[in-house]
Amino acid sequence: MSIQLRSEYGILKKVLMHRPGKEIDRLTPYNKEELLFDDVPYLEVMQKEHDVFTQMIQHASGAQVIRLREVLLDILRDEKLRYSMLSGALSERGFDFLIEDLFPRLSNAEVVSILVAGARVWELQQKLGKHFKTDLGQSAFAVVPCPNLYFMRDPAAVTQAGVIYSQMKKPGRRREANLLRQVYENHPYFAGQHDIIYRGDLETEGAVEGGDVIVLSERSLAIGNSERTDHSAIAAIAEKMLQSGAIDRLYEVHLPEKRNFMHLDTVFTIIDQNLVLTYPDAVSAVVKTTIYERSGKQIDGKDEVVARDVQKGFLDVLKDEIEHLELIHTADGNPDYSSKEQWFDGANVFAIGPRRVISYNRNKHTNRALKDAGVEVLEIPSSELSRGLGGPRCMTMPIERKSMH
């Protein structure tokens, strides 16, 4: 199997997901902003909602759900990798000096727990006793948790040519990208099965997050230039993708830097070959798009890639790319509900097949508009999942879809 995606709506075959766990319980009213949350979810209900989501994907599409914790347990049976990843997590706050004493005391599962849910000072002191002294308070984090990890879309992106490893903009999310990188490079499901488009593992590289990457068609890709993804990363990805021959065009979509359009996939989702769900206020605010294409010339044996800016709305660009484009607006464009449902990611549905989507049940006006357009809408409970400000698409990383051509 070669890991590539040629559409956003082909029948789902395999998807990587992460069930929220102890890392969510680490959130408090006092640390939530530091950990990039606006609210404090109720974990037990959140897990039940996520379980409904996972089961719906399996039953409605027959897709295989690969669970992140299980593949982490698999790869960390390698003692050298387990040591390296634990040492890296401890070093983030200067605690890597503990590695020699701590490592032999931890099981594989405990290391996975620390990598995902972090560790407080008192938890490490329980393991190390007199071996560990610090001026930090006992409740301080020696390893910071990753509560955003259930948004599996962000740490990497699968494209027509292979995988983009994310370079997360916020330092607090960079371990998430490293976990995914290690899974893709070391687990037999993934290792040797994909080309790497962008490594995203150097401080000097521009930031890119998977939520900004959308497969527009078999031959085109869109990446949002957002508060989380930089122009320099997009330009580097465009060059690699176009030189691979996998696509003919890459669109850099210049999004306004606002919290409720954090990533490109929060403002529009492709749910069929010619059908797009969009938040019109955001898409109409895009006044510039950069188009990357091959020039037809070669430099040092490689295709030259050129960029040009077009001063027109992204919807006009989409109409040029997608024939007979049809649009559905969040809350059917009703201003009383559109911004409210967009806050809870009304435009961020997850397609499990052409015109078959999973959506939050709270976005009832958007869901009704989808149904009126002939889309099958499967609704999931969302009182707690939505508190992280990400939708069903955000919570999934598709690895394989059935080709529609």
* Location of structure tokens 């490594």: 199
Residue 392 has pLDDT above 70, yes or no: yes
pLDDT at 404: 67
Q: Is 71 helix (H, G, I), strand (E, B) or coil?
A: helix
CA 62 to each of CA 354, 356, 383, 393: distance values in angstroms, whole numbers, following the listed order: 15, 13, 26, 17
Greatest mean pLDDT among 5-19, 183-197, 257-271: 5-19
Which residues does the annotation mark as catalytic? 394
For the domain covering 12-70+147-401, report its CATH number: 3.75.10.10
Alpha carbon distance 145, 24 (integer Å):
8
Residues 5 and 215 sit within 8 Å (Cβ to Cβ): yes
DSSP state of 288: -
Query: Which of 210, 211, 272 has the alpha carbon at shortest distance from 10?
Result: 272
Question: Using one digit for the tens of pLDDT, what is the confidence trace for 322-359?
Answer: 989 999 999 888 888 888 888 788 889 999 999 999 99
Residue 315 has pLDDT above 60, yes or no: yes
Residues 166 and 132 sit within 8 Å (Cβ to Cβ): no
pLDDT at 242: 96
**Structure tokens belonging to residue 212:** 């900004």
Alpha carbon distance 228, 226 (integer Å):
5
CA 177 to each of CA 93, 167, 173, 336: distance values in angstroms, whole numbers, following the listed order: 18, 7, 7, 37
Range with lowest mean pLDDT among 71-80, 109-118, 277-286, 339-348: 277-286
Q: What is the DSSP string of 214-267?
A: EEEETTEEEEEE-SSS-HHHHHHHHHHHHHHTS-SEEEEEE----GGGSSGGGT
Alpha carbon distance 7, 224 (integer Å):
17
What is Dmax (Cα atoms) for the chain?
70
All structural domains of the chain with their residue ranges: 12-70+147-401
Question: Using one digit for the tens of pLDDT, what is the confidence trace for 148-168?
Answer: 999 999 999 999 999 999 999
Question: Using one digit for the tens of pLDDT, what is the confidence trace for 234-291?
Answer: 999 999 999 999 999 999 998 876 655 678 888 889 999 999 999 877 766 777 899 9
- Side-chain-side CA neighbours of 403 within 13 Å: the count stands at 6
- Indicate yes or no: pTM above 0.85: yes
Alpha carbon distance 95, 173 (integer Å):
18
